[in-house]
């Protein structure tokens, strides 16, 4: 198959971005979607268009996101705990862990060296960040156990298998991630399996494999916006900074998450060197 050029990528990105706006049932953020099954570009949870939920769910998630914007993390977490308790799904526990990580990152960002009395203040932020990181790990492992139990006892489904996969990736457990892909293969969901293989390649630090997998997902319009992120990631790893800069700038119109922001900073730093 011929390699896809930048111009063609830009056209495919526009096609992917022209999909309908769908809200993630786990984080409430808006996504541009072209398929019934899609992966949220903010929390990376898998969604299905036919999923029925309480009509109060989206207002409740909007409230959590509002509190996060205002940096009221403790209130946001308390509000999310209420939502999480209504749905017995590990994907909600995973989203909860992501919010804890966001709070931990915020505490790290508060560490400054340019203020009087910074030593004591910095120590407080550092301690909070470290406690939150431990809490994140505990919650993530709890979600992983819940996934494993449900798959073992209730038989599982493609969505649970995906949650198990993403938890294993974030926890840095490639063996468990591979096992999750094997479970996913039972459900005849080749595009989800292809997506997982792309993410695992990135996790294992294999940019050529990641690029190939991302290109194929984009070509077939399977989770295309997410695949564009991994394509950009592989461009960075392969030293293609100019293409990566152009792609990430376009992508940032449609995707708003910390991973893309960090990638753009890395591209900027490389280009300024």
Complex with Zn ion: residue 24 or 264, whichever CB lies closer? 24
CA 169 to mean position of chain CA atoms = 11
DSSP element (H, E) containing 30: strand 30-33
- 146: three-class secondary structure by DSSP: helix
SS3 183: helix
Smallest distance from the beta carbon of 138 to Zn ion, in angstroms? 22
Tell me how far apart the alpha carbons of residues 173 and 164 are, in angstroms, rounded to a whole number: 11
Please give the residue ranges that form the binding site for Zn ion (CB under 5 A). 24, 26-27, 40, 42-43
Q: How far is the CB of 28 from Zn ion (least distance, A)?
A: 7
Task: Give me the least distance between CB of 59 and Zn ion, in Å please.
Answer: 16
Please, what is the minimum distance in Å from the beta carbon of residue 101 to Zn ion? 14
Kindly write down the DSSP assignment for every residue of 112-125, as one continuous string.
-SSSTTHHHHHHHH
Q: What are the structure tokens assigned to 111, written together? A: 């560490």
Given the structure tokens 């950009």, which residue do they identify? 232
Least distance from C-beta 203 to Zn ion, angstroms?
20
Question: What minimum distance in Å lies between the beta carbon of 199 and Zn ion?
Answer: 16
Q: From CA 37, how far away is CA 223, in angstroms rounded? A: 8
Q: Which is nearer to Zn ion, 226 or 240 (CB)?
A: 226
Q: Which is nearer to Zn ion, 26 or 254 (CB)?
A: 26
Which CB sits closer to Zn ion, 33 or 248? 33
User: Which one, 42 or 225, has the nearer CB to Zn ion?
Assistant: 42
Closest C-alpha to 170, from 193, 146, 198, 137? 137
Token reading at 92: 């909600």
CA triplet 114, 119, 122: central angle to 5 degrees? 85
In this complex, which beta carbon is closest to Zn ion, that of residue 41 or of residue 240? Answer: 41
């Amino acid at each position: 198959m011929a390699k896809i050029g930048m111009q063609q990528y830009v056209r495919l990105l526009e096609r992917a971005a022209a999909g309908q706006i769908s809200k993630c049932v786990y984080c409430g953020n808006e996504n541009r979607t072209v398929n019934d099954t899609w992966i949220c570009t903010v929390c990376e949870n898998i969604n299905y268009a036919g999923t029925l939920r309480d009509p109060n769910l989206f207002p409740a998630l909007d409230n959590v996101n509002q509190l996060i914007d205002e940096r009221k993390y403790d209130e946001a977490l308390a509000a999310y705990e209420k939502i999480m308790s209504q749905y017995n799904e590990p994907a909600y526990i995973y989203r909860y862990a992501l919010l804890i990580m966001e709070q931990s990152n915020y505490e790290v960002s508060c560490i400054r060296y340019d203020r009087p009395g910074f030593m004591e203040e910095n120590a407080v932020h550092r301690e909070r960040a470290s406690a939150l990181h431990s809490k994140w790990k505990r919650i993530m492992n709890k979600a992983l156990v819940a996934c494993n139990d449900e798959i073992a006892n209730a038989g599982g489904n493609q969505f649970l298998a995906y949650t198990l996969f993403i938890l294993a990736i974030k926890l840095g457990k490639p063996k468990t991630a591979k096992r999750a892909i094997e479970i996913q293969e039972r459900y005849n969901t080749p595009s989800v399996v292809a997506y997982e293989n792309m993410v695992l390649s990135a996790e294992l630090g294999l940019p050529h494999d990641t690029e190939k997998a991302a290109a194929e997902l984009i070509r077939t319009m399977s989770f295309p916006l997410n695949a564009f992120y991994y394509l950009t990631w592989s461009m960075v790893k392969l030293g293609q900074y100019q293409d990566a800069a152009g792609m990430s700038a376009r992508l940032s119109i449609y995707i708003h998450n910390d991973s893309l922001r960090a990638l753009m900073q890395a591209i900027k730093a490389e280009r300024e060197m």
